[in-house]
Amino acid sequence: MNGFDVCKKLKLLPGFKDTPVILLTVKTEISDIVKGFQIGVVDYVTKPFNPIELMARVGTQLELKSSRDLLRQMALTDGLTKLYNHGYIHERLAQEISRSRREKQPVSVIMFDLDHFKNINDTYGHKIGDEILVMIASLIKELLRKEDVAGRYGGEEFLIILPNTDGQGAVIVANKIKTKIQNHTFPQKGLSVTISGGVCSFEGEDANNLIMKADQLLYQAKEKGRNRIEADC
């Protein structure tokens, strides 16, 4: 296997798709150099080579990779909570629905928001309100699996995608989150936080309609007194 073949195979592996590849070779023809760039090589060093120059080029590519990874992460995540942002969570749900159709596996969503969050902001200030949102995000992460996807949908509203999880399983997760948040001791004296949520599973609709269904169930939870989970399963 030559260097070109190695690079092609690396780019097919999920864990190496974005890994920078520097080709160290005796080939100096322009056609070979162009071929290397076409298959994903980021730099080209010909033999014989200077080790100091090679290490400098490696260092440059690592710095560039780090910067690209940071920008990509910033584009996908919410700046405050570090959960996924509204745009990505929509895109990811569409992907999970497509996979659910293809593999005949369930996928469920949980949508919830913080009860009376405006009162919290008014009483404790927006800075404390932001700190609470960050803490809520941390509590959510503690209860989710690696394959689950949590996002800040907007304001104090959160959306969680649960692949390979039916409605009953999603209700269990939602209630665990509700209980964990309700029982959490916040630093602010006298502060307690509860959530209301809606849970539903994919039944053939698209991402927008699935989210709309979860949002309607969330609204029902608020109508029935808050601090509860409503589900259609």
Helix or strand (DSSP H, E) at 230: strand 229-231
Phi, psi of 230 (to 5 degrees): -110, 140
Residue type, 39: I
Q: Which of 156, 157, 203, 205 is catalytic?
A: 156
Task: Measure the CA–CA gap between 91 and 76, rounded to whole angstroms.
Answer: 10
Residue type, 51: P
User: Active-site residue 142, yes or no?
Assistant: no
Nearest to 159 by CA among 88, 105, 72, 59: 88
Sign of CA dihedral 51, 56, 61, 65: positive
Q: Catalytic residues, which ones?
A: 156
